[in-house]
Structure 1
Amino acid sequence: MEIEISRVHYPVTTLGPGNRIGIWLQGCSIHCKGCISMDTWQFGINKIALAELEKVLKLWLPQCDGITISGGEPFDQEAQLIELLNFLKPYNKSILLYSGYPFALLKDKNIVRNKLIDVLISEPYDHLEAQTKRLLGSDNQKVHFITDLGEIDFKTYLEQPFPKKLDVQITEDIVWMAGIPLNGMSEIDEVSKNDKVTISHSQAVIKNK
């Protein structure tokens, strides 16, 4: 089975407690206005064998504190996501999953009912909403503790103040960031312009009407 992947990184320190494996799936059909990850919208640009992804993850799983899966939209690759979660679950590391779909559409999915994840953050990003809560791009998004492990790992963490922190990796002319920046990318973009640096997404797609 193949899975569409944007990137995989370790350690990620801004998307949950501890040093986590970050997995970003490629492809999203939701296209929230103001999304900071437009580069993950396009489907069909980076397919890899799930077995190859698992080989990479096996190197990091023994020492990581958990796994955070985002996108893109993970539920747009539901069959592949189930296979990936079945591989990850025996390691007993907390798994946080982001989805832009409403919880009403996700609560009866096998992934939720069978507790293949520990924490789910649901609802589409809304650029007009306030942003005051840790791990949330906008306050309309909801955190759901699916398992006891998820609540143990995340409850206290989520009660802490919103940190001004991002993971940043720079390679040649590409800057890769992980985390939830305050006010999306607007503040970062303005500061960059003051330094005569223009930031743009590596891809941009227009949602089909």
Structure 2
Amino acid sequence: MVKLKSNPSLTLMEIPPGYLNIMGYVDESEVNGPGCRAVVWVQGCLRECPGCFNPGSWSFEINQLITIEALLEKILSNPRNEGVTFSGGEPFWQAPALAELAKQAKTHGLNVMSFTGFTLEQLRSEYAPAGAQALLDELDILIDGPYVESQAIHSPDSLVASRNQRVHVFNPQFCDRLTWASDQMEIHILKDGSRLITGYRGQMNLTED
């Protein structure tokens, strides 16, 4: 069962206007949406789904604060990035700032996709996090629904990680570009020598040296 804790509004108020609290960032990912893209992992999620790939993103405590402008500059600095994907954590808890980032990214010709543990119906309801509709308005693609371990899909051509999740294509231009796979992984070696693993490890058994 997916756990859902209390509203994190008080902690979110610690994020200054114009900033995002993120867990991580990577360029040139090909397993988090169509084409080659930047990925932003926001910090904070209430669900704590069993089998979650990013348990380090659950806490709402301040991790890395970055301005919208600095993050946009980072995304645009790599010409291979065709778009940007928001993941986490739960992107919609920081919807107002992400909506502004998405809006600016699209003026530079990038496409925007987001994952969310909410359903689309919840995001369109009166109980949605603040700014949810503004972020939805900027998205080309949304994958909704929490990860449910008992419904996991281990397939090299599945776009989602569990059967309850859905792909919503808001921009018809991407109907024929749904080619990434949820059961693939990338390992990025960062400048400081650390490794960032993204994608979904599926049934592969990995060991850290």
User: Structure 1 175/104 Cα, relative in aligned 2: closer, same or farther at 3 Å?
Assistant: same
Q: State the match for 1:175 in structure 2.
A: 195
- The two structures have a TM-score, normalised by structure 2, of 0.76
Q: State the match for 2:77 in structure 1.
A: 59
SS where residue 11 of structure 1 aligns?
Answer: strand
Distance in 2 of aligned mates of 1:163 and 1:50: 28
Amino acid in the other structure paired with 2:44: G
Q: CA deviation at 1:175?
A: 3.2
Amino acid in the other structure paired with 1:110: Q
Q: C-alpha root-mean-square deviation of aligned residues, in Å?
A: 2.4
Does residue 151 of the first structure (1) align with residue 172 of the second (2)? Answer: no
Q: CA deviation at 1:112?
A: 6.0
User: Structure 1 152/90 Cα, relative in aligned 2: closer, same or farther at 3 Å?
Assistant: farther
Amino acid in the other structure paired with 2:36: N
Distance in 2 of aligned mates of 1:143 and 1:17: 12
Query: Retained in 1: the 8 A contact 2:187–2:195?
Result: yes
Q: State the match for 1:6 in structure 2.
A: 23
Distance in 1 of aligned mates of 2:135 and 2:75: 22
Q: State the match for 2:185 in structure 1.
A: 166
SS where residue 23 of structure 1 aligns?
Answer: strand
User: Structure 1 130/164 Cα, relative in aligned 2: closer, same or farther at 3 Å?
Assistant: closer
Q: CA deviation at 1:111?
A: 3.5
Structure in which a larger fraction of residues adopt helix: 1
User: Structure 1 10/138 Cα, relative in aligned 2: closer, same or farther at 3 Å?
Assistant: same
Q: 1:78 aligns with which of 72, 92, 95?
A: 95
Q: State the match for 1:134 in structure 2.
A: 158
Query: Retained in 1: the 8 A contact 2:37–2:80?
Result: no
Q: CA deviation at 1:121?
A: 0.2
Amino acid in the other structure paired with 2:160: L
Does residue 23 of the first structure (1) align with residue 40 of the second (2)? Answer: yes
Q: State the match for 2:66 in structure 1.
A: 48
- Once the two structures are superposed, residues 164-190 of structure 1 have per-residue CA deviations (whole angstroms, 9 ceiling, x without a partner) of 63210246784321112224xxx324x
SS where residue 167 of structure 1 aligns?
Answer: strand
**Correspondence 1:102-113 to 2 at 5 A:** 102-107=119-124, 109-111=132-134
SS where residue 153 of structure 1 aligns?
Answer: coil
In structure 2, runs of 5+ residues without a counterpart are 1-17, 126-131
The alignment covers a number of residue pairs equal to: 182
Query: Retained in 2: the 8 A contact 1:94–1:150?
Result: no
Amino acid in the other structure paired with 1:121: I
**Correspondence 1:88-127 to 2 at 5 A:** 88-107=105-124, 109-111=132-134, 114=137, 116-127=138-149
